[in-house]
């Protein structure tokens, strides 16, 4: 597609939506904001300019013309609200953790050990990354801390060892590893109640709004019926759908062993990095018990990384990729939050419930689960999605399906929260990190997100037909 066409297309589509007749029940300003939002999404797919700039233009335009609120003070507060989101700063610090692993040499050492053990095939490396996430997931209620802060800094070293970089042969192995990592963490985030912070929030909202208590065991034993097979299948499905260009590395284990001999015994900086990474892991796993937020822990460790000379302050302020992701994600969170503020989400949910009247209860339940999942295309935060839509969908369901079906329906609904993170490059905390690594283009990410989104959602719908 011509570069000029890529620039013009989002603007034309936004303008067309803006001049359409305003639907009944929706405010005109809300329609204009939705038009801008859709224009931003189309621009993110086509990417005629950097993604962060697209988001910045979206919030600046909306704030300037008072599309969310006509109060200038409230408007700028909304526009900057994304920068106060804790997950965004956790994502930012994840980039610094990756730099710490790289500069200390610890990331290379751990990656060499993985290659030595499982490096004969790219599929084996994919399973190594997946299993690392699977082992950590029941204990870490932040998939950003788990996938972006712990696994990414190590796994991203693996393709570089085979001379697969974003600029040089990204599909040789790097793109495959990146997609396996994000696709796996989305599955594990739905597999365990404690693998994703919004899961815990969702369970409390279900209890508050529907008077239904979902235990850890009930969550796992029900959702594991489809999540465990998906978890085991992800590296293989990726291997088929988005295969690495090089399948076998027969000499890799021998090479890795020789490289380990060359770098010698573990250095002081590596020990420091390992100690700080272990401390971060401890605070992420036991954060709820010790009263420390995941982002607070990450920022504390970042300060310690600088003070112990593992990285420098110049490394932090000169990290363009981290700053780019910070601006991009913060502006998208604000844009997504604007949809609720202008009343679009409530209007859309009400419209949906009106059109479901008269259908069989099981059909209504399945359709609501599908719609709840698809609505995530409008969100850059799973937490925001939960807060904005879960109570609304529970209320709609309570009016349309029998009371005895509500516990199973509620489990299906909250079961989407992890897997919905696969659909876009901004759908869940770790996504911007793996996208920011540069191995997978934005257009490819959207295509893969659609394919895997269909696979994941189909598995959950199949479970729905079994338990409803």
Residue-wise pLDDT tens digits, 4-48: 888 899 999 999 999 999 999 899 999 999 999 899 888 887 878
Residue-wise pLDDT tens digits, 341-371: 898 888 887 887 788 888 999 999 999 999 9
Secondary structure percentages of the chain, helix, strand, coil, to 5: 80, 0, 20
C-alpha 48: how far from chain center: 23
Residue 248, beta-bridge partner list: 121
Q: In the prediction, which pLDDT does 182 show?
A: 96
- CA R_g for the chain: 22
- Please determine, for residue 332, whether its predicted confidence score (pLDDT) is greater than 90: no
* 186 closest CA partner among 384, 417, 373: 417
* 370 closest CA partner among 461, 447, 436: 461
Question: If pLDDT is split at 50, 70 and 90, which confidence band does 1 have?
Answer: low
Task: Round to whole Å and give the CA distance between 443 and 466.
Answer: 35
Residue 121, beta-bridge partner list: 248
Residue-wise pLDDT tens digits, 90-148: 878 888 888 888 888 888 888 788 888 887 899 998 998 898 888 888 877 778 888 88
CA atoms within 13 A on the CB side of 97: 34
Residue-wise pLDDT tens digits, 230-265: 999 999 999 999 999 999 888 778 888 888 898 899
pTM: 0.78
Residue-wise pLDDT tens digits, 373-407: 999 998 877 887 887 788 888 888 888 899 999 99
Three-state secondary-structure class, residue 7 = helix
Domain-wise residue ranges, the chain = 1-79, 86-197+216-319
Residue 179 CB neighbours (<10 A): 27
Q: Best-predicted range by mean pLDDT among 150-164, 182-196, 285-299?
A: 182-196
């Amino acid at each position: 597609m011509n570069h000029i066409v890529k620039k013009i297309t989002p603007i034309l589509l936004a303008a067309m939506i803006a001049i359409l007749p305003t639907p009944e029940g929706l405010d005109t300003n809300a329609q204009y904001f939705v038009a801008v939002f859709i224009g931003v999404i189309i621009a993110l797919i086509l990417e005629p300019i950097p993604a962060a700039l697209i988001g910045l233009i979206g919030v600046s335009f909306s704030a300037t013309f008072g599309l969310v609120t006509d109060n200038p003070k409230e408007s700028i507060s909304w526009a900057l609200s994304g920068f106060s989101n804790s997950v965004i700063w956790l994502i930012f610090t994840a980039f610094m953790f990756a730099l710490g692993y790289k500069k200390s040499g610890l990331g290379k050492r751990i990656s060499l050990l993985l290659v030595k053990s499982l490096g004969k095939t790219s599929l084996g490396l994919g399973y190594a990354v997946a299993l690392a996430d699977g082992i950590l997931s029941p204990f870490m209620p932040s998939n950003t801390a788990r996938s972006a802060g712990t696994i990414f800094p190590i796994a991203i070293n693996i393709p570089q060892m085979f001379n697969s970089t974003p600029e040089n042969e990204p599909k040789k192995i790097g793109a495959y590893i990146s997609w396996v990592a994000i696709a796996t963490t989305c599955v594990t985030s739905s597999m365990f109640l404690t693998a994703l912070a919004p899961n815990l929030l969702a369970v409390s909202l279900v209890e508050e709004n529907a008077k239904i208590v979902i235990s850890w065991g009930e969550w796992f034993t029900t959702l594991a019926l489809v999540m465990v097979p998906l978890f085991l299948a992800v590296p293989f499905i990726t291997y088929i759908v988005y295969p690495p260009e090089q399948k076998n590395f027969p000499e890799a284990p021998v090479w890795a062993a020789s490289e380990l001999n060359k770098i010698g015994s573990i250095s002081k900086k590596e020990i420091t990095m390992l100690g700080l990474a272990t401390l971060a892991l401890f605070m992420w796993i036991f954060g709820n018990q010790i009263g420390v937020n995941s982002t607070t822990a990450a920022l504390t460790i970042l300060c310690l990384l600088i003070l112990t000379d593992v990285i420098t302050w110049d490394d932090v302020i000169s990290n363009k990729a981290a700053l780019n992701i910070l601006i991009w994600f913060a502006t998208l969170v604000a844009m997504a939050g604007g949809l609720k503020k202008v009343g679009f989400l409530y209007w859309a949910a009400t419209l949906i419930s009106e059109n479901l009247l008269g259908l069989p209860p099981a059909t209504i339940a399945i359709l609501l689960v599908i719609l709840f999942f698809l609505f995530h295309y409008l969100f850059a935060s799973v937490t925001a999605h939960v807060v904005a839509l879960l109570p609304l969908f529970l209320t709609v369901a309570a009016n349309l399906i029998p009371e005895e079906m509500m516990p199973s329906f509620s489990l299906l609904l909250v079961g989407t929260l992890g897997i919905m993170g696969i659909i876009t490059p901004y759908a869940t905390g770790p996504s911007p990190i793996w996208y920011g690594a540069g191995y997978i283009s934005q257009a490819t990410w959207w295509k893969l997100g659609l394919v895997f989104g269909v696979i994941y959602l189909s598995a959950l719908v199949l479970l729905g037909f079994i338990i409803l």
